[in-house]
A and B are shown apart, each in its own frame.
Chain A
């Protein structure tokens, strides 16, 4: 799989590298995270190498980057989420150099791009005295239990702790799974409710009167009203035709492209039929599950530039069409903010500081490598055009 360095991660990484070189040299010299390591031959298996090195507490790694505790949240002893607020603090700084690692057309065994990425950064940081951050994708959890192979590099060039890198990490993929599946549930449920209720009943439930008998639109509903060209702010002012347009999305089930996801390899969910319970009144539909990293929400996370931008991108996701062949934007389902909320945790930082195993020989003192691992995921472009 290609290594993609995404703008937001690289920008942050580069900003952090843009400090005065004399200060850098001083800080590197006083580093408390360096140690001497022994390599053996033949090379042991990855997990044994990873387990033979005690990681440094991640707050030390952050300190060496001059990252203030206000700008990161610890997640245990060896992981931290870097908050986007650090971009505001460093916006006057210049960027560092930006390098992308690609490869020739690979064999099924892979050609070692992740290992090279990590190895290069260990060289730059530990042997060449440079400020360096590595930005990597978070691996999917499913393959870890399917076929051998994580994505933390290999041999003496790895991200540690290896098990935390390959499982859960800080829960970003779990958040994506929940957000994706909330949208999927909303689609089928909305079709169901529209099929069993009149315009008036739908509208009564979407805008129920409060204790004083007054109705109101929620914030997210104004997006749909704007799209429909309705500028009224009081629900009671809508005409019956406007009520119909507002309350009925009229989704064409055959046009739905949004699938559910899970982060487990499960071929039996590739093609399924849903809605077979008696209470679902015959609304059976064929669909399937993708693995979570195939969700459009992962691509949104990888390509977004800020929290406000993410909010917009999530709202614009197209899940299918109306029967009139217009696009049904996600915000017609009004799910935007919930997904922003679900994913905000993931975005609170796309970055995680992880201590890296340092290659070193017995008789040479090597400076530490600082790896800055971006847990954002490969962007997957999802086209809903027919």
Chain B
């Protein structure tokens, strides 16, 4: 790293300029240079312009004999609506490790959804002097992965409605004739994907002409129950008017009207598949296993039943490769996948982490971010992602801010878009100390996985020395391995050097193995209750709908999957207003759904919106393009 030609240390100015201005003030290095620093051969990546590259999975084959580097996950305390700077801390820490502490380091981040960029301010590239660049390319399109997910998701949706339509208008014989048409010599054959359905039905014949009429009926008719369809269409634009729609109103659709809706693309199960898959072959299997609904007799209907599993894989074949980018200080970043952190697991991809751990090698660092507070993102990182990847983290960082801790200590409500109350802008050590119970519980919960916990106190200009020291003391008292004050927003990597040093020590001094919160062999309810206990709940209550769903999934053979709790990010409990560390409450499970291809069951605690809207003045008013220089203006 001392001979590195890509790492540089930033010159910072005060006060901190807008994110887009900082991002535009730094000329990115050509991405082939970043790849070279990682010892990535040109055979193992594809350039996408000058500042982005897709790292091919083939590099894993070449490096399979290498040892992994250290694996660090960044979570946070329960956040305010303004966010507490987990992405900024993740990037700042890596800039510190790479540019100031001479370590091999890769940051693994989620790809942000495009919709919010035009809706409400805020990208996901970090902030201030700790950012991924080019910022506009990070927040828009990137290398087209989300576009591929949108296309794949909607292909499956079209296949569902079309199949129902064709089954309703044709006899068994006509359906079968069209599914297995004779070729020029009059011979019929099954396509590869059809053998999956035949196997599921227990039919071992390979010649279509050998099927009995009863077998033809079973094979050709999926008999989908329209009321059971859980698969929705998606788009990567904030459009509340598509939350609930009626489709099939055209005269040619013969009255097959159905209510459904659109989610935002990152809420698609295909995004969760992309994040949790470990290889191309594994992705093919997961895509095919996705359950879109049930037949009228209660059997799950999969993408492979519809014949579309292979086509989905084709649409996703390039999306499986992570995108290489860089930070302001020239350290490498892998951007890949961005599943929702409520109805999905809110972490970037396994394949990116695996590639990064090999590239940095022993003694190097891979830092990844888990969405929302540690009760959501880090819990799912441990219990879902690490279970599927087989990887072991050494250190978990919990990002805390004085602002959020004051909120948890009883401060006034924090509302996005409204100025902060006076209580948040003036010193109040007692309020901070009262709020540290939230941080303490996150520390305790995270330590139980066997990792060393480091608290990163993200310092704002309004924070005082006494307040910061109070948090440091409380964190250490709660069992944190270390607690460090950070100024990476204002100072870039330099502001996170102490955090980098603490993380190095934490990684080198792990004493316990990774331990999951629950074994997957437990029943669905037992697993839900294990997670609820970590929230401080006294117990769990299930609605009638939830009971019915749990019974159905258990009967269908899906009870061995991990649990992905869909809960508000603003409280340990189901009540967003319950700050601090609430306990003794009963957690209400309103409904239970499943992403079978991605591989988890997700109980719903309260209502989850999966399609955001646009405000009166969306921030697209400020977004423009200098048509002379092609520079993007007004992204925030």
Contact = CB atoms under 8 A, between A and B. Distances in A.
Interface stretch (A5-13, A163-171, A354-362, A370-378): A163-171
Contacts of A344: 625, 630
Contacts of A103: none
B186 interface: no
Contact of B147 (A168, A220, A221, A279): A168
B239 A184 contact: yes
B101 interface: no
Contacts of A365: none
A185 to B, nearest CB: 4
A341 B249 contact: no
Contact of A277 (B143, B162, B240, B256): B240
Interface string A168-196: 10110011011001101110110011000
Given A168-B147, A267-B253, A335-B620, A275 B46 contact: no
A338 B250 contact: no
Given A76-B48, A168-B144, A280-B240, A268 B253 contact: yes
Interface in B119-164: 136, 140-141, 143-144, 147-148, 150-151, 154-155, 157-158, 161-162
Nearest to A206: B617
A18 interface: no
Main secondary structure of the interface of B (DSSP, over half): mixed
A318 B306 CA distance: 40
B620 A262 contact: no
Contact of B615 (A168, A171, A205, A348): A205
Given A167-B315, A268-B158, A279-B240, A186 B47 contact: no
B147 A266 contact: no
B245 to A, nearest CB: 5
A285 B150 CA distance: 24
Interface string A3-29: 000000000000000000000000000
A342 B165 CA distance: 35
Interface stretch (B230-238, B269-277, B451-459, B542-550): B230-238
A197 interface: yes
A106 B424 CA distance: 72
Q: How large is the interface on B (under 10, 10 to 19, 20 to 34, 35 or more residues)?
A: 35 or more
Given A185-B239, A267-B253, A167 B632 contact: no
A264 B47 contact: no
B552 interface: no
B242 interface: yes
B244 A276 contact: yes
Interface string A319-354: 000000000000000110110111011001000000
A178 B236 CA distance: 7
B242 A264 contact: no
B314 A163 contact: yes
A280 B614 CA distance: 12
A270 interface: yes
A307 B248 contact: no
B202 interface: no
A218 B619 CA distance: 10
Interface of A: 73-77, 81, 141, 145, 163, 167-168, 170-171, 174-175, 177-178, 181-182, 184-186, 188-189, 192-193, 197, 202, 205-206, 208, 218-221, 260, 262-277, 279-280, 283, 285-286, 288, 306-308, 311, 334-335, 337-338, 340-342, 344-345, 348
Given A197-B616, A277-B243, A288-B250, 14 more contacts: A171-B143, A174-B144, A174-B150, A177-B235, A178-B237, A206-B617, A269-B233, A271-B250, A276-B245, A277-B241, A306-B627, A307-B630, A334-B621, A337-B623
Q: Which 4 pairs across A and B sit closest by C-beta, in order of nearness?
A: A174-B147, A337-B624, A185-B239, A266-B158
28 contacts: A76-B47, A76-B54, A163-B314, A171-B141, A171-B147, A174-B147, A177-B235, A178-B114, A182-B237, A182-B620, A189-B241, A202-B616, A219-B624, A262-B233, A266-B158, A266-B161, A267-B158, A267-B253, A268-B248, A268-B253, A270-B250, A271-B249, A272-B246, A275-B241, A308-B627, A334-B620, A337-B620, A341-B624
